[in-house]
């Protein structure tokens, strides 16, 4: 679907309600899949219809103008949240509509923002009623880096018109933006039609220590001045546990050490890597003896860190 509803209809963001309706009616006649045999016509028709559904509703348009593509994730009371076992959080959002108003079933009698599709196309759909598939729905599932790394079983509750509980299997190594499908757990269909699906969109929360880049994990590695100069084997904490890493002699801040396969797991391929970036740390309040040793070093050393 188009990321911008105004672009989908070819109108300016300042377009009036009449301009939006005229643009929709023109495009609907052109791209309706029952009058346009092009393989991409149905997708385009869904796109413009979704755009018109939102922009023809003053409240929805105002919400869309304010929040953009995330407007459906913002509840009307801006505080509709639920919790998931293990510390994760779920934010519920209605997914793209299907069925009578989302194109999973027939189009007879569909009214989109005051435009009757049957009337628009001259009664093309009379007598084509029938079961309508349930709507797909979406919810955001917030996980910590550790939860995303380990995966596992979770019980979550979605708050909406009525609370519903689900047992969900989270695959290890799931990434931000990936979707977990719960088949048949979406909206209820009509006329014995199949229900829609529920899609959980993973959102990995920022972590104070780990930074994710795809399946690679980046972490700071604090070392003392003498460890950086002389070299040392030091521990580094990863989501999979503590590992040892060798700091080579003469390591300065910014040097990256690569630990192959210690990044995010990948059930379908190679895991990511972990990059430990050296950070040389100095004592904030050196003891008297430490200060003496540093002064002695300063007196005998000809090292100039600012020289090329």
Alpha helices in the chain (DSSP H): 5-9, 17-31, 41-55, 58-67, 117-120, 145-150, 225-230, 288-300
> What CATH topology corresponds to 61-204?
HSP40/DNAj peptide-binding domain (2.60.260)
Tell me, what's the pLDDT at 60?
86
Strand runs labelled E in the chain? 81-83, 89-93, 111-112, 115-116, 137-143, 152-158, 164-170, 179-182, 198-204, 210-213, 216-223, 232-238, 241-247, 256-259, 274-280
Summarised one tens digit per residue, pLDDT across range 33-54 is 777 888 888 888 888 888 988 8
Range 288-294 average pLDDT: 95
Range name among 49-53, 100-104, 176-180, 273-277 with the lowest pLDDT average: 100-104
**pLDDT band, very low/low/confident/very high, at 158 (cuts 50, 70, 90):** confident
- The answer to whether 61-204 and 210-299 have equal CATH topology is yes
pLDDT of residue 115: 53
Q: Could you give the percent of the chain with pLDDT greater than 70?
A: 79
- Residue 221: per-residue pLDDT: 96
Task: Write down the pTM of the prediction.
Answer: 0.57
For residues 133 and 201, which has the higher predicted lDDT (pLDDT)?
Answer: 201
d(CA 104, CA 197): 12
- Mean pLDDT along residues 159-184: 86
Position 223 confidence tier, pLDDT thresholds 50, 70, 90: very high
Give the pLDDT band of residue 294 (cuts 50, 70, 90).
very high
DSSP code, position 133: P
* Most confident of the ranges 103-112, 133-142, 273-282: 273-282
Mean pLDDT of the chain, nearest integer? 81
Is pLDDT of 4 > 90?
Answer: no
Residue, of 144 and 84, whose pLDDT is higher = 144
CATH number of 210-299: 2.60.260.20
Using CA atoms, how far apart are residues 120 and 105, in angstroms rounded to an integer? 18
Cα–Cα dist 173/151, whole Å: 7
Average pLDDT over residues 255-276: 94
- Lowest-confidence region among 35-39, 141-145, 147-151: 35-39
Domain spans of the chain, in order of start:
61-204, 210-299
Residue 203 CA to residue 174 CA, distance in Å, equals: 10
């Amino acid at each position: 679907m188009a990321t911008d509803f105004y672009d989908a209809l070819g109108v300016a963001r300042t377009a009036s309600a009449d301009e939006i309706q005229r643009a929709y009616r023109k495009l609907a006649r052109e791209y309706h899949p029952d009058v346009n045999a092009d393989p991409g016509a149905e997708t385009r028709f869904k796109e413009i219809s979704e755009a018109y559904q939102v922009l023809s509703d003053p409240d929805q348009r105002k919400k869309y103008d304010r929040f953009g593509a995330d407007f459906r994730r913002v509840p009307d009371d801006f505080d509709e949240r639920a919790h998931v076992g293990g510390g994760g959080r779920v934010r519920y959002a209605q997914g793209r509509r299907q069925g009578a108003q989302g194109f999973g079933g027939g189009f007879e009698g569909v009214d989109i923002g005051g435009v009757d599709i049957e009337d628009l196309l001259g009664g093309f759909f009379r007598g084509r009623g029938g079961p309508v598939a349930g709507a797909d729905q979406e919810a955001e599932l917030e996980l910590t880096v550790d939860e995303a790394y380990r995966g596992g079983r979770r019980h979550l509750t979605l708050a909406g018109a009525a609370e519903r509980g689900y047992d969900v299997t989270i695959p290890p190594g799931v990434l931000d933006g990936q979707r977990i499908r719960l088949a048949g757990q979406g909206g209820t269909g009509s006329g014995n039609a199949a229900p829609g699906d529920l899609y959980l969109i993973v959102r990995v929360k920022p972590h104070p220590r780990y930074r994710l880049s795809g399946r690679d994990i980046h972490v700071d590695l604090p070392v003392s001045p003498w460890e950086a100069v002389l070299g040392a084997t030091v521990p580094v904490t990863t989501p999979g546990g503590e590992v040892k890493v060798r700091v080579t002699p003469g390591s300065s801040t910014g040097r990256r050490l690569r630990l192959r396969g210690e990044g995010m797991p990948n059930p379908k391929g190679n895991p990511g890597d972990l990059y430990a970036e050296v950070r040389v740390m100095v004592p904030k309040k050196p003891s008297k003896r430490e200060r003496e040793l540093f002064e002695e070093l300063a007196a005998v050393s000809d090292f100039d860190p600012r020289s090329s």
